[in-house]
Structure 1
Amino acid sequence: MDISAVGLGAIIVLVFLFLQIPVFASLLAGSVTYFMLTPNIPTQIIAQRVISGIESIPLLAVPFFVCAGVFMNYSGVTKRVMEFCEILMGRTSGGLAQVNVLLSTLMGGLSGSNLADAAMQAKMLVPEMEKKGFSKEFSSVVTASSAMITPLIPPGIAMIIYGSIANVSIGRLFIAGIGPGILLCVSMMILVSVISKKRGYKPARETRVTPKELISGLGTAALPLFLPVIIIGGIRLGIFTPTEAGAVAIIYSLILGAVYREMKFSHIITGLKETITSTASIMLIVGAASAFAWVLTREQIPQQMTGLIVSMISNKYVFLIAVNIFLIFVGMFIEGNAAMIVLVPLLAPVAVEYGVNEIQFAMIFIFNMAVGCLTPPMGTLMFVTCGITKCKIKNFIKEAIPFYILLLICLMLLTFVPVFSTGLVDLIY
């Protein structure tokens, strides 16, 4: 066992990440350092581990759902779902801000990508919100914060990666994500309403919604909103696996494109290119992190960490609080998928030792990584949204303080009230 080689490799990974070197290159650098300093290990194992890390059948769902989400944006789905959200939330306090939150919740089940959601809504909704009197900072924060709901609502890419790493049912994770997603949606709507009333932000519309408008809006958005039902229902009934559900989602998005007559052949080609680039970036991180995770496993770091933590902490709730603090800190500096691939093999076995439900722990982990997307200095959602809306980062952070407090409250509820994560899973399964 060569702990010094592992330690140096880990230090190099952290230093490279702080220097903003690409995540996959940072992880590979740490792995290569270990192999160079450890004798009698063939260097070709690095390549083998990278390749084997992405040769997972469940990971096939990643390009499928990414592709389906891209096609949804080209098929006119987003516009129709947004119009339906405006009908539902137009007269509430905060109007378009409430539409923003609800749209993220509904589109989370269609796009599966929080960055894509944030970018799309920053372009579509923020300019309209500013015209209605909302400040640029508030509009940007609502857009970025609501995009956090996307990884929680099925079919989130984070759930697929977590399930493939921890050997947890992806179908159960999909269902489990609905509870935290709705919790975050409702609590965020309440916060938006309170802030909007305090600042005098007016509703998007003054007139009451007529039954005819409601039925018309629902009819327009019904087909896209039916996709999560098809996915979860098909998986639960055993019609297809979560991986095959991704292929079903692609076919369904193409059907919607034909029905709405907005998707052109050029859109399909562009969508395939976007899918390839997005999937390649994810898989590079997965492969590199798989090699580094192999190093940690070979040196029995997970077992040692489990023994150390169990000997120091006797209460599972104290353990969960410590894990939350640790994951929030990690999420501030390391990309979520990379952190998941490295840390899940370390922390999931420890959680099992404390008797924490594997589904609940998965939701806690994924929620923490989502929070990291919104917090400086590595907050990808923050940078993507501010890059489009031209909002200053310091103004964004100041405006986001109430939302950070809200996220902390929701995290505590997920940690200490398991029913938010496991209730639907227990009911359906």
Structure 2
Amino acid sequence: MDLVLVIFVLLLVLLFLKVPVYIAILGSSLVYFFLTPGVNSIVFAQQAIGGTESISLLAVPFFVLLGSLMNYSGVTSRIFDFAAMLTGRMKGGLGHVNVLLSTLMGGLSGSNLADAAMQSKMLVPEMEKKGFSKPFSSVVTATSSMITPLIPPGIAMILYGSIANVSIGKLFVSGIGIGGLLCIALMGLVAVISNKRNYPRIREHRLGINEFINGAKPAIIPLMIPIVIIGAIRAGIVTATEAGSLAVFLAIILGIFYKELDMKAMMKSIKETVVSTSGIMLIVAAASVFSWILTKERIPQQLAEWLIATINNKYIFLFVVNIFLLIVGMFIEGNASMIILVPLLAPIAAAFGINEIHFAMMYIFNNAIGALSPPMGTLMFVTCGITGCKTKDFIKEAVPFYILLGVVLFIITYIPFFSTALVNLLY
């Protein structure tokens, strides 16, 4: 137990020093193998390799590639035009477009950082030209990108499902409700702030039927891709991995049809996919070793026994977990914390009788907030790095958004309906 504590401390120190996550986890794990007598060092390599061999993880590169292809195939611009058409007459129209585009693209890209980077380049300059402040534009971009891992096919859901042995199809369905809730909440806050600051509309005239039909036509086929993915998985026709490959095939067909996806763009997408997937899999491999150490030392069992003995109410347990995950999310990347903590917390949640889908979506939502939170919020830094917004101005502008996220987290935590209603309906 003392050695495990040393490993945890070393891991935190390495992360604070901004050592790459997978190196921090592997380095701290190596200490255990060096200092523990009777533990064969071959296990280190076996666990690292074995952790990446989950069938569910095969879906990751396909959905990463899907998101990249969307940006090069002309799909993103068509969905942007569709979102602008729907929200154009609302005060602060481009702010609403920002949120709605993240929601619609979340069903295609699966990566919040890719979404934030894309919209920081595409939307923030346009918002500034229309009179929006740089901090507000940056905050809306970063916050709306949180929706991406919540909407299927979010990579976070694939990882969680493979770690906790939870149906990825059910998580995808649940994500529709959670992502939709956050989208509505963010659009409500953008409307309040836009009215208060008199941010402009995109257009003044009402949307006619013919204008709506003409604007919706180019976006219909791209928006069908998430429906095809979820429908095929639910019908049992394909697995999550096969659905990913099917979606990639459809994206390539669309790119060729739109005459915007050439071989150069295709190779660039593949390169981006290899880099992103490699980073994810290195973290998975490293964390698999760390999880083996925790299991061998019976840390999950001891923690579960302590929590159950100390906390006899599931609502208090959920509150404590939320506070803990929010703090962890401020310092540790979401996928890394998930691989380390889900094997610890998911069994305890099950012992308290908490629905596995409900707990999964609550956990993923906490991770999404962590990506926006200082001092190490990746979404915040990616967005500010591209837009040129100062971090202190970003944090000041983000205060009402942090409050809103806290309210939404409370709703998700204590009203399981939003996580489970669609799952119960379809399954």
Decide which of 219, 222, 241 is 2:220's aligned counterpart.
222
CA distance, structure 1, for counterparts of residue 201 and residue 72 of structure 2: 29
Structure 1 stretches of 4+ moved >6 Å: none
Q: Which residue of 2 aligns with 1:273?
A: 271
Deviations 1:159-188 (A, max 9, x none): 000000000000000000111100000000
CA distance, structure 1, for counterparts of residue 233 and residue 154 of structure 2: 15
CA distance, structure 1, for counterparts of residue 94 and residue 267 of structure 2: 33
Native 8 Å contact 1:93 1:203 kept in 2: yes
Name the SS of the counterpart of 1:93 in structure 2: coil
Decide which of 49, 52, 64 is 1:51's aligned counterpart.
49
Q: Which residue of 1 aligns with 2:300?
A: 302
CA distance, structure 1, for counterparts of residue 162 and residue 172 of structure 2: 13
Native 8 Å contact 1:9 1:30 kept in 2: yes
Name the SS of the counterpart of 2:149 in structure 1: coil
Deviations 1:272-319 (A, max 9, x none): 111000000000011101110110001010000000000000110000
Query: What's the % identity of the aligned pairs?
Result: 62
Q: Which residue of 1 aligns with 2:94?
A: 96
Decide which of 145, 151, 158 is 1:160's aligned counterpart.
158
Deviation at 1:142, TM superposition (A): 0.1
CA distance, structure 1, for counterparts of residue 20 and residue 122 of structure 2: 30
Q: Which residue of 2 aligns with 1:248?
A: 246
Deviation at 1:143, TM superposition (A): 0.1
Q: Which residue of 2 aligns with 1:391?
A: 389
The AA in structure 1 aligned to 2:75 is: V
Deviation at 1:259, TM superposition (A): 1.1
The AA in structure 1 aligned to 2:387 is: T
Deviation at 1:218, TM superposition (A): 1.0
CA distance, structure 2, for counterparts of residue 368 and residue 403 of structure 1: 14
Name the SS of the counterpart of 2:92 in structure 1: coil
Q: Which residue of 2 aligns with 1:344?
A: 342
The AA in structure 2 aligned to 1:51 is: I
Pair 1:28-2:30 in alignment: no
Q: Which residue of 2 aligns with 1:150?
A: 148
Name the SS of the counterpart of 1:150 in structure 2: helix
Larger mean Cα displacement after TM superposition, 209-218 or 381-390: 209-218
The AA in structure 1 aligned to 2:359 is: F
Decide which of 35, 39, 42 is 2:40's aligned counterpart.
42
Q: Which residue of 1 aligns with 2:425?
A: 427
**Structure 2 unaligned spans of 5+:** none
For residues 81-230 of structure 1, what are the structure 2 equivalents within 5 Å? 81-230=79-228
Q: Which residue of 1 aligns with 2:232?
A: 234
CA distance, structure 1, for counterparts of residue 145 and residue 67 of structure 2: 14
The AA in structure 1 aligned to 2:376 is: M
CA distance, structure 2, for counterparts of residue 33 and residue 419 of structure 1: 44
Deviation at 1:204, TM superposition (A): 1.3
Deviations 1:321-372 (A, max 9, x none): 0000000000000000000000000000000111100000000000000000
Deviations 1:380-406 (A, max 9, x none): 000000000000000000000000000
Name the SS of the counterpart of 1:343 in structure 2: helix
Native 8 Å contact 1:9 1:29 kept in 2: no
Q: Which residue of 2 aligns with 1:63?
A: 61
Q: Which residue of 2 aligns with 1:361?
A: 359
Deviations 1:177-213 (A, max 9, x none): 1111000000000000000000111111112222122
Q: Which residue of 1 aligns with 2:4?
A: 6
Q: Which residue of 2 aligns with 1:410?
A: 408
CA distance, structure 2, for counterparts of residue 111 and residue 232 of structure 1: 15
Native 8 Å contact 1:8 1:34 kept in 2: no
The AA in structure 1 aligned to 2:94 is: L
Q: How many residues align?
A: 427
The AA in structure 2 aligned to 1:5 is: L
Deviation at 1:13, TM superposition (A): 0.5
Deviations 1:66-122 (A, max 9, x none): 011111111000000000001000110110000000000000000000000000000
**Structure 1 unaligned spans of 5+:** none
Decide which of 305, 327, 330 is 1:329's aligned counterpart.
327
The AA in structure 1 aligned to 2:320 is: A
Deviation at 1:378, TM superposition (A): 0.9
The AA in structure 1 aligned to 2:214 is: S
CA distance, structure 2, for counterparts of residue 162 and residue 360 of structure 1: 12
Q: Which residue of 1 aligns with 2:257?
A: 259
Name the SS of the counterpart of 2:51 in structure 1: helix
Name the SS of the counterpart of 1:212 in structure 2: helix
Native 8 Å contact 1:90 1:203 kept in 2: yes
CA distance, structure 1, for counterparts of residue 308 and residue 91 of structure 2: 48
Name the SS of the counterpart of 2:373 in structure 1: coil
TM-score under structure 2 normalisation?
A: 0.99
The AA in structure 2 aligned to 1:414 is: I
Native 8 Å contact 1:359 1:421 kept in 2: yes
